[in-house]
Amino acid sequence: MVMVRFNSDIPTPVVLLFCATVIFIIFASYRKLLCGKKTKTFLIFHILAGFLLLCAIFQPELSFSMKTGLKKPVLVLIDTSKSMEAKDRAGISKIQQAKEFLEKKKYFKKYNPVYYLFGSDAKIVNQKDIPLIEANQNSTKIATCLSSIIKNSSDNYSGVILLTDGYENQFISWEEMKKVITIPVYTVGIGEESAKDIGISTILTNSPLYEGEIAKISPIISQKGYDNEKVSVSLKENGKLIQGRTIEITSNFVRLDFEIPSLPEGDYIYEVSVQPGIGETNLENNHFPVLVRVIAPTLHILYVEGNLRWEYKFLKRFIESDKKIEPCCLVRVGESTFQQTGGKTIDVPTNILGKEIFLNNFDIIIFGDIDFSSFSDKDMQNLRNFVEKKGGSVLFLGGENFLKGLKRDVIKDILPVILTGNEAGFIEGPFKPEITEEGKNLPVFENFQYLPILDRMNRCPKPTPAGLVLIKNLESPDNPLVVSTGMPRGRCVIVATDSTWKWCYAARQDEKLAYEQFWARIIRFLCGPDDYLGIGNRVPDINLDKRTFAENEQIHIRFLFTGENSPFNAYIVCPDYSKINLNVENNASIFSSKKDGIYLVCAENKGKINKKEFIITNQGSEIKDPGRDDIYLKKLAEISGGMYFPIENSDGLQKELSSRKTTVKTHLAITRESEKFLIPIIFILLTICWFLRRQSNIL
């Protein structure tokens, strides 16, 4: 592509027309003199002088681009993590395969390669030292190392040749990687194509959970080369078999669910093990420990009711029957007067919403048939702060005054519905409630099949974009029964009826059971274990790059809050139950140990503790697997515009590199600084032209 422009105020077409006219006049002036070689010679000198004079006047710029072979050096990255120590059936390690590959590929030299070793970090290495390298890094962070090198030097290199088995130890965002990798990556897969392996990829749990709930432990079994085979999976505690199952492996990933009922309060370390397959060489990933944490707190509930109605009497009785709930029930008997039941140690102010310090005594606040019109905006702000800052939850029940007085800007952001002011009206039933698909996806509503008929419901307004309908009304889909917010801190739930008490009053036992299940699960939803502990609010969430580390490997720990940071103490509980305090700076800390075992990271604040387990082993997360991750390496090459080559079929790499073209842009211009060189040249050309004319007697 060629572009021409002039540094002149005159339009380019006019300049080109003027230059053509000048050249034509010079040519026409010598038209009758073109019969001899000498006349042609001085004509050429004259035209050249005229052209240079025009260039000095109009200062043209010429830009053009052309494709050429790779000119810049290539980067060669060699994986030296411990997984590269794994040997194939011939006894050759993956790191040795990488060395032999580089030794054989003599054509690399013409691309001026720059070599890096990488694992947990990257460092440059001289080519002469490559035969001496060892696979000794404790983890493989392909994406981090590759991104860092390219970010710092992508303009200086034409591509990357990546020699690795593809076993990445960290989470990868392909969208982010696509933005960072600006040059093609040619991945060379090191290791066996068909290495057989079976192991535990990860374990899902519902930890932490409340005492009396069912603990669920769900290992994800991964496999290569063992399709349709049966294997045994066991669950152990302190080396003792708790449960065992035999499963058939029908896909690359199979989920298995273990359930342990009614665990008492405490921390439990379980180990899931899967039976090794026939001919399997990697046994490091056949067992996986997991922490199950059971807590037994006392929930503090404030129940504020507008009158002594049936819904209040039955719900109050249900709450008081739970030994793990400490209720404080208030019934309005005057304009600002409430009759108190329970919570005797709490001093109830005249204005119950007037002080945040009073509201912060509770985990859940339930409002019955309350008209909020008499409460000020400051009171509403206190209620909002209870949800957003403290992380508490609020429940609004249906009734004659359903949501009355709440249509205010100060509180609308925590409500799951858009108020219209006409919510107090009723729709007469009967109605058949049903849990929505969104509700069924929440663990708290699992296996909840039966909800009895309701006599009447309030007119529930339209949910906000962030509102979540948990239970709908089959007869009137536009009028949901239970709606919740999905806020990261605290929740606000609306139950648009005042007749659930009839389920408990009914003679049928299944309706009484449905009443107990309904309110037990609503309360559990309002304040689950994570909510009670204040994870992300009172105490930070704990983030680790991975769960398995090698001896003396640096463990980077991050402490995360969803909003403002709160003060906390952080420490490690070691396998021998000793404690090591952590030095936390900018919500991050580093830990390492040379002792194998299961460790706990703990973050504590005012009696609330968050815990996360990790494991230290001799090998760490680097599995000694002779295979490779072809899918990962193909994807990495694809998003960068490169290509994947298995090591046994890598001859195409040379052809791909030689066919790769780089666009080179060239820019030529006449500037004011260069004019001083043009004038002497023009003078010399015109002098030669004059001399030739004198010799030919042409004036």
pLDDT in tens, 300-314: 999 999 999 999 999
Q: What is the mean pLDDT of residues 35-51?
A: 67
Whole-number percent of the chain with pLDDT over 90 = 48
Alpha helices (H) along 410-450: 437-440
80 burial type by CB count under 10 A (0-12 exposed, 13-18 middle, 19+ buried): buried
The more confidently predicted of residues 93 and 46 is 93
As a whole number of angstroms, the distance between CA 465 and CA 471 comes to: 17
The more confidently predicted of residues 678 and 443 is 443
Name residue 357's amino acid: I
Choose the weakest-confidence range: 392-406, 537-551, 663-677: 663-677
Give the pLDDT score at 27: 73
- 632 three-class SS: helix
The two three-digit tokens of residue 174, written as one number? 């392909």
pLDDT in tens, 220-256: 998 888 888 999 999 999 889 999 999 998 888 899 9
The more confidently predicted of residues 153 and 221 is 221
Give the pLDDT score at 488: 64
Task: Name, in order, each residue with C-beta under 8 angstroms of 445's C-beta and a sequence gap of 6 or more.
Answer: 435, 439, 470, 521, 525
The angle, 0 to 180 degrees and rounded to 10, between the axes of the packed helices 310-321 and 509-526 is 70
At the top level of CATH, which class does the domain 197-295 belong to?
Answer: mainly beta
22-30 long-range Cβ contacts below 8 angstroms, 24+ apart: 22/50, 22/54, 23/47, 23/50, 23/51, 26/50
Give the pLDDT score at 291: 94
Give the pLDDT score at 138: 84
Q: What is the mean pLDDT of residues 467-471?
A: 92
The more confidently predicted of residues 93 and 224 is 93
CB atoms within 10 A of CB 639: 15
The more confidently predicted of residues 486 and 552 is 552
Q: Which of 620, 634, 650, 619 is nearest to 98 (CA)?
A: 650
Q: What is the mean pLDDT of residues 105-121?
A: 87
Give the pLDDT score at 1: 57
The highest-confidence range among 151-160, 358-367, 435-444, by mean pLDDT, is 358-367
As a whole number of angstroms, the distance between CA 694 and CA 687 comes to: 11
Instruction: Give the CATH superfamily of 299-533.
Output: Class I glutamine amidotransferase (GATase) domain (3.40.50.880)
The two three-digit tokens of residue 423, written as one number? 């919510």
pLDDT in tens, 252-302: 889 999 999 989 999 999 999 999 988 887 788 899 999 999 999 999 999
Choose the weakest-confidence range: 142-156, 211-225, 478-492, 664-678: 664-678
As a whole number of angstroms, the distance between CA 367 and CA 395 comes to: 6
The two three-digit tokens of residue 253, written as one number? 């990933």
**Res. 86 pLDDT band, cuts 50 70 90:** confident
pLDDT above 90: residue 492: yes
Q: What is the mean pLDDT of residues 154-171?
A: 84
pLDDT above 90: residue 334: no
The two three-digit tokens of residue 38, written as one number? 């000498």
Q: Looking at the domain 74-192+627-659, which fold is it? A: Rossmann fold (3.40.50)
Q: What is the mean pLDDT of residues 40-45?
A: 70
Choose the weakest-confidence range: 152-166, 209-223, 663-677: 663-677
Domain 197-295 matches domain 299-533 at the CATH topology level: no
**Are the CB atoms for 467 and 414 separated by under 8 Å?**
no
- Where along the chain do its domains lie? 2-68+665-695, 74-192+627-659, 197-295, 299-533, 541-617
Instruction: Give the CATH superfamily of 541-617.
Output: Macroglobulin (MG2) domain (2.60.40.1930)
pLDDT in tens, 595-652: 999 999 999 998 999 999 999 988 777 776 678 888 899 999 999 999 999 999 888 8
Q: What is the mean pLDDT of residues 39-62?
A: 72
Answer left, alpha or beta for residue 422, where phi above 0 means left and psi between -120 and 50 means alpha: alpha
Work out the mean pLDDT of the chain and round it to a whole number.
86
As a whole number of angstroms, the distance between CA 634 and CA 186 comes to: 9
Phi/psi for 612 (5° steps) reads -145, 135
Whole-number percent of the chain with pLDDT over 70 = 91
pLDDT above 90: residue 325: yes
The two three-digit tokens of residue 239, written as one number? 């080396």
Q: What is the mean pLDDT of residues 491-510?
A: 90
Q: What is the mean pLDDT of residues 536-554?
A: 90
493 burial type by CB count under 10 A (0-12 exposed, 13-18 middle, 19+ buried): buried
Give the pLDDT score at 681: 77
pLDDT above 60: residue 490: yes
**Res. 382 pLDDT band, cuts 50 70 90:** very high
pLDDT above 90: residue 43: no
Place of tokens 């019109």: 373
pLDDT above 90: residue 215: yes
Give the pLDDT score at 11: 80
Q: What is the largest CA-CA distance in the chain?
A: 134
Name residue 502's amino acid: K
**Res. 338 pLDDT band, cuts 50 70 90:** confident
